[in-house]
């Protein structure tokens, strides 16, 4: 989840009109030569000796892991005296609620830089982890841990969310405590460009879910899904999740997304280094100075940016677009997800071709595909005949051509399309990461889920 690291006069500026809110989206507009790629990836942290999840405070725990990474130039970000994040040239390292470790990478020009950044981060984590007896697991969901076995990190916003989640869905705590994802943040040149990318990204998010499906085990046993992490979002909080049918309506743009965002209940307001619990309250009331917890006070720009970070649809708009449908995975998958979406969205010919694949689907059909894909993955039926496997093959061809046309070369003269190779393998074999994991579990491991730490760690 987004980590607050900025504190500038601009973030403290009071919101005085609807235009101030819309400006958050409009300020994200950039000419194509300034489009960048920001990749976020989470991983599970465990003790090598007993596979237990380390707490924040214990010797050799999460705090010591953060402190160890300062040897590589990372600077601590403090909350109530605790280091709860790190900032540096490669972006921000932050903690998810149960200690999942996340890199929110820097805004980079090409995928060669993205994969190099991921490599640096993972090598640093492994080096410090070796000293502490800590390992890192690349999956979409804890395969063996119950909620009760997991620690809670000392971050104020998480306490508020942990209290609120059970009131609005049965799986929100699983989302917070037991899942990991990979996502990519991308730019747009105009409101119209944003809308087109949003539509393509939202319609094709189930393809990414299928290709990256990697969460078929819960508490040591198969859960009946290929991406249980994706299923969890269906029963987390209907007010702030889902496929957003209005995105596909004529006239969709900043105004319509703002209307949606303002109607999503709030979680918190951040003041003087502390998070104030306003869970369930209306941002409209805040704009009118009628928030019960802060009577007479109106929001700052930072309050609206914070609020946007607590909305969780499959694609999210802030001052950039976030693609959010993929399970966590290992190194190759971290590079493959941004390759997929850059190939589709950063080349105009690819963007048009991708939209042609899905533009005639109805809202009901889009929702059905989204509902079916966590369980069926590549076998999910799609409108017009065929299944997600067939669609994924077309999507990857379009993305590969888009990356080739981008012609961002490394020192060896290779373009970025090679980063799609792990996804081409999934399509060629018809076997998702979840299928491979289940096969090992049921055959080679004979139901011993502990073997996962040997074979699926970074």
Residue 5 has pLDDT above 80, yes or no: no
Residue 185 has pLDDT above 60, yes or no: yes
Where does the pLDDT of residue 229 fall: very low under 50, low under 70, confident under 90, or very high at 90 and above? very high
Residue 8 has pLDDT above 80, yes or no: no
| DSSP annotation string for 328-380 | P--HHHHHHHHHHHHHHHSSHHHHHHHHHHHTT--HHHHHHHHHHHHHHGGG-
Helices 191-211 and 421-429 cross at an angle (nearest 10°) of: 50
pLDDT digits (tens, 9 = 90+) for 268-277: 999 999 999 9
Average pLDDT estimate for 283-296: 97
Residue 2 has pLDDT above 60, yes or no: no
pLDDT of residue 10: 67
Share of the chain above pLDDT 90, in %: 97
Those residues with Cβ within 8 angstroms of residue 294's Cβ, 6 or more apart along the chain or in another chain:
269, 271, 276, 278, 286
What are the residue boundaries of the structural domains of the chain, listed by start?
36-264+311-455
Whole-angstrom distance, CA of residue 163 vs CA of residue 170 = 12
Whole-angstrom distance, CA of residue 57 vs CA of residue 295 = 37
For 36-264+311-455, CATH gives 3.30.590.20
| DSSP annotation string for 93-139 | EEE-TTS-EEEEE--BSSHHHHHHHHHHHHHHHHHHHHHHTEEEE--
Q: Is 298 left (phi over 0), alpha (psi -120 to 50) or beta?
A: beta
With contact defined as beta carbons under 8 Å apart, do 312 and 274 qualify? no
* Chain centroid to CA 219: 23
Helices 111-132 and 62-69 cross at an angle (nearest 10°) of: 120
The mean predicted confidence, pLDDT, of the chain is: 97
pLDDT of residue 159: 97
With contact defined as beta carbons under 8 Å apart, do 213 and 140 qualify? yes
Whole-angstrom distance, CA of residue 199 vs CA of residue 251 = 12
Average pLDDT estimate for 352-369: 98
Which secondary structure element, helix H or strand E, spans residue 274, and what is its range?
strand 274-277
Which secondary structure element, helix H or strand E, spans residue 160, and what is its range?
helix 156-168
pLDDT of residue 160: 98
pLDDT of residue 37: 98
With contact defined as beta carbons under 8 Å apart, do 69 and 86 qualify? yes
Whole-angstrom distance, CA of residue 189 vs CA of residue 194 = 7
pLDDT of residue 420: 98
Residue 223 has pLDDT above 60, yes or no: yes
Residue 4 has pLDDT above 70, yes or no: no
With contact defined as beta carbons under 8 Å apart, do 208 and 337 qualify? yes
End-to-end CA distance of the chain: 21
Compute φ and ψ for 220, nearest 5 degrees. Answer: 85, 5
pLDDT of residue 385: 95
């Amino acid at each position: 989840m987004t980590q607050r690291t900025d504190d500038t006069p601009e973030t403290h500026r009071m919101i005085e009109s609807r235009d101030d809110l819309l400006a958050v989206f409009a300020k994200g507009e950039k000419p194509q030569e300034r489009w960048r790629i920001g990749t976020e990836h989470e991983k599970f942290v465990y003790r090598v000796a007993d596979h237990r999840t380390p707490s924040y405070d214990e010797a050799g725990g999460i705090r010591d892991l953060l402190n160890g990474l300062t040897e590589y130039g990372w600077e601590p970000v403090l909350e109530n005296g605790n280091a709860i994040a790190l900032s540096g040239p490669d972006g921000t390292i932050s903690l998810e609620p149960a200690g999942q470790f996340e890199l929110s990478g820097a805004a980079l020009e090409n995928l060669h830089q993205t994969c190099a950044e991921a490599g640096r981060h993972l090598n640093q984590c492994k080096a410090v982890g070796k000293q502490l007896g800590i390992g890192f697991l690349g999956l979409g969901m804890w395969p063996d841990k119950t909620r009760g076995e997991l620690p809670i990190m000392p971050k104020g916003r998480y306490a508020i969310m942990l209290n609120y989640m059970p009131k609005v869905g049965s799986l929100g705590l699983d989302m917070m405590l037991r899942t990991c994802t990979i996502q990519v943040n991308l730019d747009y040149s105009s409101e119209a460009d944003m809308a087109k990318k949003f539509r393509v990204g939202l319609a094709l998010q189930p393809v990414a879910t299928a290709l990256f499906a990697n969460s078929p085990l819960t508490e040591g046993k198969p859960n009946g899904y290929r991406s249980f992490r994706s299923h969890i979002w269906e029963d987390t909080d209907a007010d702030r999740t889902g496929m957003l049918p209005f995105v596909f309506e004529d006239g969709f743009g900043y105004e319509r997304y703002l209307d949606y965002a303002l109607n999503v209940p709030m979680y918190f307001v951040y003041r003087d280094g502390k998070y104030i619990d306003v869970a369930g309250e209306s941002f409209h009331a805040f704009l009118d100075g009628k928030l019960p917890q802060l009577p007479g006070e109106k929001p700052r720009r930072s309050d609206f940016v914070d609020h946007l970070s607590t909305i969780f649809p499959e694609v999210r708009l802030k001052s950039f677009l976030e693609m959010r449908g993929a399970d966590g995975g290992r190194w190759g998958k971290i590079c493959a997800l941004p390759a997929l979406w850059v190939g589709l969205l950063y080349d105009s010919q690819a963007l048009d071709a991708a939209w042609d694949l899905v533009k005639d689907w109805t809202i009901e059909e889009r929702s059905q595909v989204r509902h079916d894909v966590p369980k069926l993955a590549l076998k999910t039926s799609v409108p017009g005949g065929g299944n997600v496997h067939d669609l994924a093959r077309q999507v990857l061809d379009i993305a590969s051509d888009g990356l080739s046309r981008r012609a961002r070369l490394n020192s060896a003269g290779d373009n970025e399309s090679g980063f799609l190779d792990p996804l081409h393998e999934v399509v060629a074999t018809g076997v998702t990461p979840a299928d491979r994991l289940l096969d090992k579990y049921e055959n080679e491991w004979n139901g011993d889920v502990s073997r996962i730490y040997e074979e699926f760690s970074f």
